[in-house]
A and B are shown apart, each in its own frame.
Chain A
Amino acid sequence: MKKTLRYLYLACVYLFLYIPILILVIYSFNDSKYSTNWQGFTLSWYTQLIADGPLMEAFVNSLVIAFASSVSATILGTLGAFAFYRYRFPGRKVMYTFIYIVMMSPDIVMGISLLMFFIILGMETGALTLLLAHITFCLPFVVVTVFSRISGFDRNIIDVAKDLGATELQMFRHIMLPMLMPAIIAGWLLSFTLSLDDVVVSFFTTGPYFEILPLKIYSMVRLGIKPEINALSAVMFLLSLITVTVAHLVTKENR
């Protein structure tokens, strides 16, 4: 009895999480333009999606920005976390706290401040400013993820590597990097998803000639939800499912 209740509760939680997505996926195959009634199976929304040039362009732009910003943030963030762990320098604690502040600060504040920053620098908003903005808000997540793993390490590991003849670089390459890999992948994954679906910061930091998917969808939705968007969302859901699965398998391999 108790066991059944427990499973029931668990099922409720998961249904709550996944039913909306499931409905969206189902409707992406619904042969009806407006209605919420089931009118029959069709793949036409998917073909329309592929044919929609501007939407596909925004999609590709989004993937490029997400990939570039997450990779940059991961490299910078990993090095940053390593520096926080390995070296003692004045202001270390203050700097680490500021990393948290960036992470906690509301997107709207960040968007506006970055926009002002770019204007002061005289940079025209577009792909580059968008990329810089995304790297900025992804970076703290990588630092925090990697640092939490690295601070669990036995400090002697570094000493051992040096004692056995490794230079600082060899130690980082052969010891730190492999040991940190699960955290690095997690940080990268987090950055990638954060960048891919960011609306607020992107709204302020991209220009009129560089459209990305979340903003495009946002503007499209104002005219009502088209089934094409359902199809697009279903594709993106599949994409994230694949990424998470791959990441899970890779980190499992590394353990």
Chain B
Amino acid sequence: MESLPIVRLQGVTKRFDDVCAVDSLDLDIYQGEFLTLLGPSGCGKTTVLRLIAGLETLSAGEISMNGSRLNGTPPNKRNVNTVFQSYALFPHMTVFENIAFGLRLKQSDKQAIRHQVSEALDLVKLSGLENRRPHQLSGGQQQRVAMARAIVNKPQVLLLDEPLSALDYRLRQEMEIELKRVHRQLGITFVFVTHDQEEAISMSDRIAVMNEGRVEQIGTPIKIYEEPENMFVARFVGEINVFDGHVVNVNNGSAVVDIHGQLFPVQNRKKAGTGDKVRVLLRPEDIQVTRDADKNGGPALSGKVDEVIYKGKTVDLVISLDAGETINVTQFFNEDQEDLVYGEGERVHVDWLYGWEVIL
């Protein structure tokens, strides 16, 4: 993405009394992308959104849009719109009036307004419900009205503050697909806030993982999941197993790490030196489990199966290693492997393929 960012945040800081919600944050948002701010509650992600919308004032720093400063601009003069977590539909207005609200403030051509509202309703697949009141709609429909009410104003950037968190699981998955479709059809920039990493991974072009008012890592979902840059990102996004070890040998791009006396070759992305203490991180699905140690030949850690959780397409194992750690392993079924079902208490060995690990 070489193009100029549509929204640029530089040194953005927001303090509420003494609490620093956003701490000198830099972020570039590009034209047409689906950017997700992901983080635990209280990490400042919603505040960032509200700062972009103009609903909070900056304590320090600068926000610019299309190259011009936005700092003092009130929300009603910004070319961004927000979909709120609680939808906040106007209860005394019909669906039509809700969606037309923004348009009516700016123009008076009734014919044009009607046309644009029905276009927006088409986009969110709610045609025919114009005259309903918000309390007559289901949660998912209210969500769609909130979306239509924002996008009908043709903002350059649409801000979404956990819009799916109030929906049940089924509906949420449906809306995820809908959101992606609307994003594709409109071609505008979406900035999406969530604490749900699955949601973030499945929808975003880029994810910014936030913690305590700062961005911990920003990148594509694949990068974030497979190459976390620090422990926070590794732990927050998905499940992960952590092994402590130290480097015994370094050789070009790879290194040998001693974990509980076993020597594992790893990819040395961190450029660790001999003797350094490192942590080796592995996703549950990247760990291999075997019944006998020398089947794969290489180094392996031994332990016993504590729990077997059958999940349909996968089997999750909780294994306590002889060295003391407890790890989670996910095994996928495939047709020529029918001996995946381990018994509780069974002794096993675990290892992984070279390069599937991350070291920090």
Contacts and interface: CB of A to CB of B under 8 A. Distances in A.
Interface residues of A, number: 18
Nearest to B91: A179
Interface in A129-172: 154, 156-157, 159-167, 170
A164 B81 contact: yes
B53 A166 contact: no
B55 A159 contact: yes
Contacts of A161: 90, 101
Contacts of B153: 164-165
B105 A163 contact: no
A162 B101 contact: no
Interface residues of B, number: 23
Contact of A254 (B74, B75, B92): B92
Contact residues of B: prevailing secondary structure: mixed
Contact of A159 (B84, B101, B105): B84
B92 A162 contact: no
Interface string B104-116: 0110000000000
A31 to B, nearest CB: 53
A160 B76 CA distance: 10
Contacts of A179: 90-92
A163 to B, nearest CB: 5
B166 to A, nearest CB: 12
A156 B105 contact: no
A178 B92 contact: yes
Interface of A: 154, 156-157, 159-167, 170, 174-175, 178-179, 254
Interface of B: 50, 53, 55, 74-76, 80-82, 84-86, 88, 90-92, 101-102, 105-106, 149-150, 153
18 contacts: A154-B88, A156-B86, A157-B88, A157-B90, A159-B75, A159-B82, A159-B88, A162-B55, A163-B55, A163-B80, A164-B76, A164-B81, A164-B105, A165-B105, A165-B153, A167-B76, A178-B92, A179-B90
